[in-house]
Amino acid sequence: MKTKLTSAFLLIFISTSVFAQKQSNVEEKFTPNGKPIVTVFSDFSNSTSNGKSNNAFEVSRAYFGYGYNFSREFSGKVVFDIANTAYLSPSAFTAFLKNAYTEYSKGMVKADLGLIGTSMFSLQESFWGKRYMYKSFQDQYGFGSSADLGAKVNLQFMPELSLDLAVFNGEGYKKVQVDSTMQFAIGLTAQPIKNLYARVYYDYMNKQSFATSNVAQSSFNVFVGYKSDKATLAAEYNTQMGNKNTTDHNWSGLSVYGTLPFAKQFTAIARFDDLMSTKVGTATTGWNTSTDGQVYMAGVEYTPVKGIQLTPNYRYSSLTSGTTASSINLSVGMSF
């Protein structure tokens, strides 16, 4: 009897070991894989400015692309940005190649090369999370581009601390040209406690030109944000000297935003932006008269199913030029 029990236990042990080994082999095996990328932003708006009202339906942007994992370490992505350029030609859509890059990721190192996403406001954009409704501060007002030709490396020293270094063409993805101009960027991101993030970022670009009015452009921003399942609250301060390498075109701004889930599938959204540019010469207002001032917005996001966001929202802007505008919008985001 004892011999039979011993044999049975031995058989079970051998079978378990073989099964575990097979499972380990299965887990270690990697199969190349990929998936399509589709994102569409659309909205309906009723806007009023200086006593004049306007109603409009709009598909403001669509992204189509594909991401592919060649191995555990190497992957690639190609994305086209179809943008509404109605301000140039009514009902016109223009296609741009937004991303086309190779990525290497292993251990503490992640490196991108090609037409890649910039690191200027990527963290801020992830906290805001409502790009279908309104772009993040630096993107909305033109402090920088969300993608550019270049190379970027992220060093994750520990889960709570990372450093990113990058060099870009400096023109953005909508205006790709080969010249001797380079934009250098560095950012440091820390997570001092759970759910709390802090980041500082700086970039510098000195455009080579014979024009005497050209100066170096440099950007600096500080970001602090709290994010959990219960709420999101973030604030960022941005300043830029020599916008588009133009003398005395300096500006700065503050953005504060937050989200608060209050029922299943419903989230309250609020945001405040304040942008101010410097005066040039004897001018009585800043050089950026088109967007200097304050913008207020609030809304409720409804997510009926994963990948769909329906957000009725209200926006009000009071510009230093004296112009005021308000709009009631239904913003729609779709992605899969």
Q: At residue 193, does pLDDT exceed 60?
A: yes
Q: What is the pLDDT of residue 16?
A: 41
Q: Is the pLDDT of residue 238 over 50?
A: yes
Tally of CA atoms within 13 A in the half-sphere of 137 that contains its CB: 33
Q: Region 228-246: what's the mean pLDDT?
A: 96
- Contact between 243 and 258 (Cβ < 8 Å): no
Q: Domain 30-45+56-335, what fold?
A: Porin (2.40.160)
Q: Which SS3 state, helix, strand or coil, does residue 60 take?
A: strand
Token digits of residue 86: 């109605």
Domain boundaries, the chain: 30-45+56-335
Instruction: Give me the pLDDT at residue 212, please.
Output: 53
Per cent of the chain over pLDDT 90 is 77
Distance CA(14)–CA(36), nearest Å, equals 44
Percent of the chain with pLDDT over 70: 87
CB count in 10 Å sphere of residue 225: 21
> Residue holding tokens 């009000």?
316
The residues near 244 (Cβ < 8 Å, ≥ 6 apart) are: 217
In this prediction, residue 177 carries a pLDDT of 67
Whether pLDDT at 237 is above 90: yes
Question: What integer pLDDT is reported at residue 191 of this predicted model?
Answer: 97
Q: Hey, what amino acid is at 278? A: T
The string of pLDDT tens digits covering residues 32-57 is: 999 999 999 999 999 998 888 899 89
Distances in whole angstroms, Cα of residue 42 to Cα of each of 57, 280, 328: 8, 38, 14
Q: pTM for the full model?
A: 0.87
Q: Would you state the pLDDT for residue 28?
A: 72
Whose CA is closest to 50, among 276, 321, 331?
A: 321
Question: Does 12 have pLDDT greater than 50?
Answer: no
